[in-house]
Amino acid sequence: MIADAEVNKPKPIFLEEKQEKLVLFNDDKDTKLAILALEEGKFVLISELYSHGLLLLKALHTHLKTTLPNKSFKEQRNYRTQYHKLSNLILMEIVAHELVVKKSPQIGWLEKLYPKTSDFLLTFPQIQGLNSAWQWYKNGISIPVLRNKIHPYYGTYFPTRFDHLILFDNWLKRYEGPKKTAIEIGVGSGVLSLQLVQHGFQKVFGTDINPNAIVGLKEFMGETKLSRKIELDLGHLFGKWEKQTELIVFNPPWLPKMSSQEKHDEAIYYDKNLFSNFFKEAQKRLLPKGKIVILFSNLAKITNVTKKHPIENELEKGGRFKLEKFLTKKVKAASEKTKRDQHWRSDEEVELWVLVHK
């Protein structure tokens, strides 16, 4: 079992390390001065109310909107990068595993993830992330294709859109092959593996490079029957699973990495070698009559991030697999509440690719 100390979590910041470059923010009239300090690379400590942190983030958004274009997909990426840089200079203090500012939420992760460190600082966006993650973990999330809620562990990918899951579920309903074993690459919060078990697969072998996914899913399954049906390994792509299987399932990231900032988010952005390495390893582990199911999207193409489609590229040049089935599903329109311009959503489709040996 992976120790809690080894899971991914925000790195504690200690007050004495930042004392020289620290500016206190305790008055909502000082937002302009606080933003100026952030642009100078100084740290701003929220010292009175939790809501002051929210106020400063809102002011930062307003400021950046007047200085940066934010219309096209690429412009939005640049905007988010700058916002990420400046907002993560805003700090909050934690004492005895609790936020010291008034009217703060109770966040159980502060004790669960930092059992031996009680007094430290974190950035305000990190605090927001921990707070949201605690609510999801504590209350659970309903997924349309599953009977029970999932309780995603901190720092673990879980789906917020379900079109690709519905597409996969419909395919599973019509699947007539053997159901002895399956391998899922990048298990995350376990939704696809849970779908496989729900549709009668006897054993699912899941991998993930994120230790939080492995810790969280093992905790979620506990000693139930699921823990005997889903076996997990912390590792890249296929990890330690060498045996051949009837079905390999992969829901990879849908966008290529474009900047160093994105290298840390491997649930969303893929590097240039991911797909070639996956197909090379999949060829060894797929039984002669087995199938590979890949859940993907046309998002990168319709937003002009890239003209290359990694699965099409494999079918054209890889020489390993042929296409058995290709299914698509239009995604739901973006919420009217979203603040981003997502006009491309009208053209977005999720894709299900079924590949077999040549």
pLDDT at 265: 58
What gap in Å lies between CA 23 and CA 12, rounded to an integer? 19
What would the pLDDT profile of 24-64 be if each residue is shown by its tens digit? 888 767 888 999 999 998 999 999 999 999 999 999 999 88
CA proximity to 182, closest of 208, 207, 210, 202: 202
Alpha helices in the chain (DSSP H): 15-18, 31-39, 50-67, 73-87, 109-112, 124-139, 163-174, 191-198, 211-221, 226-229, 274-285, 299-302, 310-313
pLDDT at 304: 67
Q: Which residues of the chain have pLDDT under 50?
A: 261-264, 335-341
What would the pLDDT profile of 249-299 be if each residue is shown by its tens digit? 999 987 877 655 444 455 678 788 899 999 999 999 999 999 999 999 888
What gap in Å lies between CA 75 and CA 273, rounded to an integer? 26
Contact between residue 279 and residue 146 where contact means Cβ atoms under 8 Å apart: no
| Residue entry with tokens 């060829």 | 283
pLDDT at 217: 96
With 0-12 / 13-18 / 19 or more C-beta atoms within 10 angstroms meaning exposed / middle / buried, residue 96 is exposed
pLDDT at 93: 95
Q: Which CATH number fits domain 163-357: 1.10.3720.10, 3.40.50.720, 3.40.50.150, 3.30.420.10?
A: 3.40.50.150
With 0-12 / 13-18 / 19 or more C-beta atoms within 10 angstroms meaning exposed / middle / buried, residue 12 is middle
Angle formed by the axes of helices 73-87 and 124-139, nearest 10°: 100
269's tokens: 């952005």
pLDDT at 3: 57
CA proximity to 82, closest of 91, 92, 73, 69: 69
pLDDT at 261: 47
Query: How crowded is the C-beta side of 137, counted as CA atoms within 13 Å?
Result: 21
Q: Where are the domains of the chain?
A: 4-137, 163-357
Contact between residue 76 and residue 255 where contact means Cβ atoms under 8 Å apart: no
pLDDT at 345: 56
pLDDT at 263: 44
CA proximity to 3, closest of 234, 223, 229, 185: 234
Phi, psi of 122 (to 5 degrees): -135, 160
Residue 327's DSSP bridge partners are 352
